[in-house]
Structure 1
Amino acid sequence: MSVSRYPAEESSSMPKRAKMGIPLVLGFSDEEKVGTIQPHDDALVVTLKIGEYDVKRVMIDQGSATDIMYLDLYRGLNLKYENLTAYSSPLVSFEGKMVVSKGQIRLPMQTITDVVEVDFIVMDVFSPYTAIMGRPWLHTLGTVSSTLH
């Protein structure tokens, strides 16, 4: 996956971060598409650097109002339960069920150009993904994700 920039206006309602003037676009180059079936409309699943680790199977979901980390990844990053802060709002799972989080944790994430702090809601439910990056992360980066691009 490559990250590129394209000209666009910055919104004054975006979270505070270093102004780069041009938002990021999450996308794939033609070389990265080799071996895939096109047109491609599958979920956007990538590898991202969370803390000091390259984390695979992270889904980018513009429909998610939160950034989610699943308990298996939390344990895999050697994080302790006492590092969690309370998060009491229930969430709705993919199956439409209400689920309660284990808590919340703020962790650094490395992009090509920046390190940003992300508030992850930690969930103890099954998922084929290790984490889901939603609108809060995308908006902080000023990023637009697209399976088309």
Structure 2
Amino acid sequence: MVIAVVLANWEVHKTLVDQGSSADILYWPTFLRLDIPHSLIEPLVGFEGRSVYTRGYVDLLTAFGAPPDSRRVMVRYLLVEADTSYNIIIGRPTLN
């Protein structure tokens, strides 16, 4: 399922909801367009598995749905530099 979410006061389209993903991912080009301070990025430690270049992680308030029925949650996004047609992947950590 592909949806739009509000992330750091910006509406972000092309957000993939993937129940099989074990991480919430924010792609680096999208992060740059959101104009979020780089000082919020934390280093990623202990990442194992397939080799992917990460820039760390960032915790961002994310809204799902339209007001007045929207749900706002703090999401920890891995910042990944990769070619993809999506801006964000919402995985099991946020869905549960």
TM over 0.5: yes
More strand by percentage: 2
Name segments (4+ residues, structure 1) moved above 6 Å: none
For the residue of structure 2 that corresponds to 1:73, the secondary structure is helix
Deviation at 1:80, TM superposition (A): 2.9
Distance 2:59 2:53 in 1: 18
Distance 1:82 1:91 in 2: 27
Deviation at 1:91, TM superposition (A): 5.1
User: 1:58-137 to 2 correspondence within 5 Å?
Assistant: 58-88=15-45, 89-90=47-48, 92=50, 98-111=51-64, 112-137=69-94
Distance 2:48 2:85 in 1: 21
Instruction: Report the structure number with the largest CA radius of gyration.
Output: 1
Distance 2:86 2:70 in 1: 25
State the structure with bigger RCO (CA 8 A, min sep 6), 1 or 2.
2
User: 1:50-61 to 2 correspondence within 5 Å?
Assistant: 50-61=7-18
Identity %: 23
Distance 2:52 2:2 in 1: 23
- Aligned partner of 1:131: which letter? I
Unaligned runs of 5+ in 2: none
Distance 1:58 1:104 in 2: 17
**Structure 1 length-normalised TM:** 0.57
Question: RMSD across aligned C-alpha pairs, in angstroms?
Answer: 1.3
For the residue of structure 1 that corresponds to 2:54, the secondary structure is coil
Whether the aligned pair in 2 keeps the contact of 1:67 and 1:121 (CA below 8 Å) is yes
**Structure 2 length-normalised TM:** 0.87
For the residue of structure 2 that corresponds to 1:99, the secondary structure is coil
